[in-house]
Amino acid sequence: MIDEVIEFNSKVLGIGQRQLSLLSEDEEDYLERALYEELFEFQDAHTDGDLAGVVDGLLDLCYFAIGGLYRSGLTSDQIKKCFAVIHQANMQKKIGVQAKRGGKAIDAVKPENWKSPEQNIKEILSL
């Protein structure tokens, strides 16, 4: 999925590989609006009982999020490595209840010794 999103950004939108940086205010605003639009489409599809619309909305959220990483200058390899360290950190969590998320659905809870993946991400990005 990562390589396909990068291909789209490169070939369709003409966005080449950039230096690592935060998005410009205009691009951040665009990305935020796009993510909210897809989130609302997901919610509407779920309300309407439209599974295909739910799938479309969720995958479009992924598409825009990955595109945002690429626009921030991450390479495919960096995105994959960052995802891997986030996955490894998440695999240390335990099933539980997250009160801040309403506590009504199955969730994952950080154990006492859980370590954030942010330091590993900084290393991958050479920050």
User: Residue 111 pLDDT > 90, yes or no?
Assistant: no
One domain for residues 33 and 85: no
Note the pLDDT of residue 37: 97
One domain for residues 67 and 86: no
CB-CB contact of 74 with 21 (8 Å): no
One domain for residues 89 and 40: no
One domain for residues 33 and 66: yes
Mean pLDDT, the chain, whole residue set: 95
CB within 8 Å of 44: residues ≥ 6 apart: 53
One domain for residues 1 and 42: yes
One domain for residues 105 and 82: yes
Note the pLDDT of residue 103: 67
pTM of the entire structure?
Answer: 0.90
Between the CA of residue 35 and those of 39, 40, 53, 70, what are the distances in Å? 6, 9, 15, 15
Q: What is the C-alpha to C-alpha distance for residues 45 and 55, in angstroms, rounded to an integer?
A: 9
Give the other-Cβ count within 10 Å of 78's Cβ.
19
- Note the pLDDT tens digit of each residue in 61-110: 999 999 999 999 999 999 999 999 999 999 999 898 877 777 677 888 88
Task: Give me the number of domains the chain comprises.
Answer: 2
| Residue range of the domain that includes 85 | 77-127
Note the pLDDT of residue 85: 97
One domain for residues 38 and 83: no
Task: Determine the average pLDDT of the residues in 35-57.
Answer: 98
